[in-house]
Amino acid sequence: MKLLDSRRLTGPNLLLDRAGAVLEVSLAPEEAEAAVAAWRENVRRMLGSVGWPGEEIAVRPFPGGASLAISAPIDSLYPATEVNEWAWAAAEAVVKGAPAPDLEEATEGLRAMIAREVNPPLLALRDAAAAHGVSFLWDDHYASVGLGTGSITWPVWPAEALPDPATVDWSAIHDVPVLMVTGTNGKTTTVRLLGAIAAAAGKVSGLTSTDHIEVGGEVVDRGDFSGPGGARILLRDRRVEIAILETARGGMLRRGLAVTGAEAALVTNIAADHLGELGVFDLPTLAEAKLVIAQAVKPGGRIVLNADDPELLTAADRLARPITWFSLDPANPRIQSHLAAGGDACFLKDGVLMLARGGERTAVIRVHEIPLTLGGAARHNVANALGALGLAAAAGLPVAAIAEGLRSLTSNLGRAVSMELGGVHVLLDYAHNPHGMAALVDLARSLPGKRRLLVLGQAGDRDDEAIRELARAAWPLRSDRIVVKELPEMLRGRGPGEVPTVLRDEFLRLGASPERISIAKTELEGIRDALAWARPGDLLVLLAHTQRDEVLGLVDRLIQTGWQAGEPLPD
């Protein structure tokens, strides 16, 4: 028995439909049943003792352990983690035959902690927002009602800084449409496509992604803002008329959802990535974790799902919201049955993106008109465009604006960027897992190249098998040269050189000769090595993750100086 993690859940999540606290614990098979039963008993005792007898408890087993959660008032989530940890300590004592911690002594301390944290004005503002039918957002520092152009924000502390709900001009407060995007791959690209669509519709769009927060085309802040914190920052920006949120698995598992009441939500796909973290060990559980996003969709809203993804096909039966399916194949059985039943769908037919809804079918745009699809060769971006079409249509954006938006986005900031550089064809991408790598290899194999070179690396928080699987996904490219890059910023518990060694050994096992493989100490060094190796007519497949800005800066300098393959690179 071991406590692995204890944290607050600030919104609806995989275990509960509201805020609370969760533990991740490791358990040997022979002790699991007794330990969970003891935790249940002791958490109930403590919940009653601190005055929370009506709170929910939830257990989610996973291989080698379990997630143990309790719901709690939003103004007392730190004490809730202490309640949960006390119950676990008591369960450990029961299983090991040791003296149990004293309930009365712990209760006294926890009640004092709760008394310091309670914030009645915060709860009153939340309840008033619900009564007026507008969103309520909160965190450790701020509370807000309404979204975007209709929002007002106040400090949470001191509690007197929050207004009496009776003094708030509720007529000036409203929500703006919210669209949410999750999935294993394609999230950021789809968010950008949706931002272009919203702009074409004349809306000031706000975007969150793993790259930055953006409002009306202006970058507000750079970094990974795909979690609930990024969503709250954006949704409190009073310029925003429509919000498009990249919503990562990690944020939903670690904290839950920041907002409910979304117009629609999209799941792009489900593929192996980050398995073994936060109680998610297999694809069905990963699908369930991603589909937490469905809890954010308001009644009457839609879920947009990939009909080419087997995990989503299976998991969809549990969803209560109407579904818009999308597929690259118009003969996909789920598309056909869904259309026959009068459902909405988006699909590719004869090179045209089609929208079917209400019994009508509309030809929206030809694939070759969408720059990010590279004339249809980038099949994964055709799928992303179909998902964006489905989500935009679910939000009621005009078809003409959808087509114009898909047509207008020409740059994707390092994702499937195809260019000619000094007589060399360069394909720059962000692929970071086997699913994304396979899509990239499929695209690269359609491109000409006298010789082929691949630069790749991996973060250290994947296990060895996941790292080897990345190499196996890259192998069909049949690269003449492979540069394995270290990612010093993403060692995540691994030693220097450990991840590149796993990748190199797998390529050797697959049949690569040692002289074909080199190891670079950084991403930029690896890409400079690739460019120095290149000769006219070659194809370079370059994966840029941690030093993407530096890589793009190098490419810009090479373009500006008229560099040609075979010439020395600038310092």
* Chain segment 350-370, per-residue pLDDT in tens: 999 999 998 899 999 999 999
Segments forming the whole domain that contains residue 384: 178-408
| 422: in domain | yes
Among the candidates 357, 381, 408, a domain finishes at: 408
241 and 384, same domain (yes or no): yes
Total number of domains constituting the chain: 4
Domain limit, last residue, from 78, 98, 117: 117
Domain boundary among 83, 98, 117: 117
Q: Are residues 223 and 284 in the same domain?
A: yes
Q: How many residues does the chain have?
A: 571
Helix (H, G, I), strand (E, B) or coil at 139: coil
Q: How far apart are CA 188 and CA 244, in angstroms?
A: 10
For 553, other C-beta atoms within 10 Å of its C-beta total 12
Query: Do the domain assignments include residue 568?
Result: no
Residue 570 lies in a domain: no
Q: Please indicate, yes or no, whether residues 445 and 321 belong to a single structural domain of this protein.
A: no
Within a domain: 332 = yes
> Both 403 and 421 in a single domain?
no
83 with 186, same domain: the answer is no
Residue 200, in any domain of the structure: yes
Instruction: Going residue by residue through the chain, which has 571 residues, state the pLDDT in tens, using 9 for 90 and above.
Output: 899 999 999 999 999 999 999 999 999 999 999 999 999 999 999 999 999 999 999 999 999 999 999 999 999 999 999 999 999 999 999 998 888 888 999 999 999 999 999 999 999 999 999 999 999 999 999 999 999 999 999 999 999 999 999 999 999 999 999 999 999 989 999 999 999 999 999 999 999 999 899 999 999 999 999 999 999 999 999 999 999 999 998 899 999 999 999 999 999 999 877 677 778 888 999 999 999 999 999 999 999 999 999 999 999 988 988 999 999 999 999 999 999 999 999 999 999 999 999 889 999 999 999 999 988 988 999 999 999 999 999 999 999 999 999 999 987 776 778 889 999 999 988 877 888 899 899 989 988 899 999 999 999 888 899 999 999 999 999 999 999 999 999 888 899 999 999 999 999 999 999 999 999 999 999 999 999 999 999 999 999 888 888 988 898 899 989 999 999 998 7
Same domain, 37 and 162: no
Regarding whether 396 and 462 lie in a shared domain, the answer is: no
Residue 567 forms part of a structural domain: no
Q: Tell whether 134 and 275 lie within a shared domain.
A: no
Q: How far is CA 339 from the centre of its chain?
A: 29
CA distances from 545 to 97, 210, 497, 511, 550 (A): 50, 11, 17, 27, 10
Q: Which helix (H) or strand (E) holds 4?
A: strand 2-9
Query: Is residue 571 one of the residues assigned to a domain?
Result: no
Residues 297 and 443 in one domain: no
Domain identity same for 438 and 350: no
Are residue 349 and residue 494 in the same domain, yes or no?
Answer: no
Residue 130 and residue 112 share a domain? no
The model's pTM is 0.85
Residue 427 lies in a domain: yes
